[in-house]
Amino acid sequence: RWPSLLKYYSHTDGVSWLEEYKARHNAGLEAQRIVASFSKRFFSEHVPCDGFSDIETLGCPSHFFEDELMCILNMEGRKGLTWKYYAKKILYFLRQQNILKNLKEYLQRPPDRQSFLEGAVLIDQYCNPLSDICLKSVQAQVDDITDKVRKVLRTKNPRHPSLASKAGEVSVPEVELQRQVLDAMNCVLYEQLKYKGNELDYYNSLNSYIHQVLIRRTGIPISLSVLYLTIARQLGVKLEPVNFPSHFLLRWCQGKEGSTDIFDYTYIDAFGKGKQLTVKECEYLIGHHVTEEFYGVVTSKEVLQRMVGNLLNLGKRESTDQSYQLLRDSLDLYLAMYPDNVQHLMLQARLYFHLGIWPEKVLDILQHIQALDPSQHGAVGYLVQHTLEHIERRKEEVGPEVKHRSDEKHKEVCFSIGLIMKHKRYGYNCVIYGWDPACMMGHEWIRNMNVHSLPHGPHQPFYNVLVEDGSCRYAAQENLEYNSEPREIPHPDIGRYFSEFTGVHYLANTELEIRYPEDLELTRATVQKIYSSGKE
């Protein structure tokens, strides 16, 4: 464990290692206690906003607490699935809170101290909090590309001023010398390293994450522009970002520095292999004329706003992710930059309302919207009313419904919790995590899903299943069959319901077993009967 913790210590520090070990040990016990409590507290609902309150007031070093969560996540084998599920949620929350704090600190700095690369890394970190992404490693990769550019530049012009100074300490005033730098950059990035715009998979969110751009060597105009601009500035060429509609560009001054004449600039398309464009060619690029304001330089905050806006649009497009995680993350980022934006506050309130999560936070957001823009009272009033009804319904819940197989009304239920099934019509693999003796959905759902066309219609058992594509579905008994080759179901919520995968079926965790107390025995008997090859 200790190699991952060494970064928190200085070689010059006098450290009592016994005390450090005790602190790490106690943090581990605290983390295990909290993770174990989450399943019992939050099985029936999404972890509420205040569910993390005891984590925010930890009495132990946060890096030790995180280290224990990582140890839980890295446990080998197919056991401890519920612990891993909640450890991941807690770690996600902790890291995002820390990144959000770093972003707010970044935004408060003077513009000349806001690195475009650092801003891109913060966005990347927030959307991928469980990945090992840090500014230092990203900067090291950019520095490596910069060194390659210097080598090419040295063969063209051994006396070039960019070769004499360290990164960021050089300024190249002559346009011809700047051109040599850009030519060398294009040679390295697009010819040697084969960077390119991702035209085939343009709307993949990975194109927006700077660490993925460096790994995959492809991206969209804005992410490639941030990389291009960073390298150019390290070599003494001051390129500037241009918030051009539909296609982010960079501009390179050919006239007097700071000129307001758009024709004094050449425009660079990092997505198009560093091609240099005139004003007229920029318009050809997007197919229509634009006014001069769109050729102006933008701030680092405005660059981040556009990057987050891209992710927001991707989050709205996602149809397979039922948790809308990308949309939620990008809304958090946007509102960290513009906390009083009514449009995005309303979108966040509607999203939480749609997902049925965090009703108290929805009310707080709606109150804030009403204070900012009283004209929104109609939409606000509707959401307030229905959110209060949601809160009242939750208060009326009297505990978990327990379903006994011995009940006469359950005699038609053939399958049990934890079995790996296959859908006869659509062919998807899934695992059962709940069942009803008959379809419990409303008339509209039954009509839309054409349930009456089934031979047994809605009057047959229906099963809640987690599907391998990440979705949750409600399937009729006649449409399911045992899977002849059972395998793990890669669903993000698998640990919410199951503690272990045995190789042929899942074991319900304590909370699910309380709700279906007689299913485990039936599942084991079924498995033994079907898979008699000795896998179990």
Q: DSSP states of 352-396 as a string? A: HHHHT--HHHHHHHHHHHHHH-GGGHHHHHHHHHHHHHHHHHHHH
Q: How far is CA 493 from CA 129, 317, 480, 496, 517, in A?
A: 18, 21, 21, 5, 21
Q: Determine contact, residues 506/500, Cβ cutoff 8 Å.
A: yes
Q: Each residue's pLDDT tens digit in the chain (536 positions)?
A: 777 788 888 877 788 889 989 999 999 999 999 999 888 888 766 666 666 776 767 778 888 999 999 999 998 888 899 999 999 999 998 999 999 999 999 999 999 899 999 999 999 999 999 998 999 999 999 999 999 999 999 999 999 988 876 655 577 788 999 999 999 999 999 999 999 999 999 999 999 999 999 999 999 999 999 999 999 999 999 999 998 999 999 999 988 888 889 999 999 999 999 999 999 999 999 888 888 889 999 999 999 999 999 999 999 887 556 678 899 999 999 999 999 999 999 999 999 998 888 888 999 999 999 999 999 999 999 999 999 998 888 777 777 889 998 899 999 999 999 999 999 999 999 999 999 999 999 999 999 999 999 999 999 999 999 999 888 999 999 999 999 889 999 999 999 999 999 999 999 999 999 999 999 999 999 998 887 654 44
Query: Hey, CA dihedral for 130, 134, 138, 141, is it positive or negative?
Result: negative
Specify the pLDDT at position 356. Answer: 83
Query: How many CA atoms, within 13 angstroms, populate the side-chain half-sphere of residue 62?
Result: 11
Residue corresponding to tokens 């500037």: 240
Q: What are phi and psi of 302, to 5 degrees?
A: -70, -30
Specify the pLDDT at position 534. Answer: 46
Q: Determine contact, residues 190/149, Cβ cutoff 8 Å.
A: no
Query: How many CA atoms, within 13 angstroms, populate the side-chain half-sphere of residue 74?
Result: 8
Specify the pLDDT at position 470. Answer: 87
Specify the pLDDT at position 516. Answer: 95
Specify the pLDDT at position 28. Answer: 93
Length of the chain: 536
Q: Which two tokens stand for residue 406?
A: 């011995």
Specify the pLDDT at position 38. Answer: 86
Specify the pLDDT at position 166. Answer: 64
Amino acid at 29: L
Q: Which two tokens stand for residue 331?
A: 């809304």
